[in-house]
Amino acid sequence: MTAGEEESIYERVARLEDEVAALRNEVDVLKGTMRNKIVRYEHKLIKKGKDVNSIID
């Protein structure tokens, strides 16, 4: 293995780590969105007078 090949492997690993970080950010956004939707739905049920046990937290 030459020094050039080792550098390309490290670059690939760095690129993959960046992609993983980007995917984690997207998942966090989706989790926040779903959490907000659930909270709004539970709030609607409470306003209608239904007893609700929150599934969040």
pLDDT by residue (tens digit) across 11-41? 999 999 999 999 999 999 999 999 999 999 9
32 inside domain: yes
46 inside domain: yes
Supply the pTM of this predicted model.
Answer: 0.67
How many domains would you assign to the chain? 1
With bands split at pLDDT 50, 70 and 90, how would you rate the model's confidence at 4? Answer: low
Length of the chain in residues, anyone? 57
40 inside domain: yes
33 inside domain: yes
CA dist list (Å): 23 to 1, 18, 44, 50, 56? 32, 9, 32, 37, 23
- CA dist 14 and 8 (Å) reads 10
Give the structural domain span for 39. Answer: 24-51
13 inside domain: no
Look at residue 7 and tell me whether its pLDDT is greater than 80: no
And the tokens for 49?
A: 């007078």
- CA dist 9 and 14 (Å) reads 9
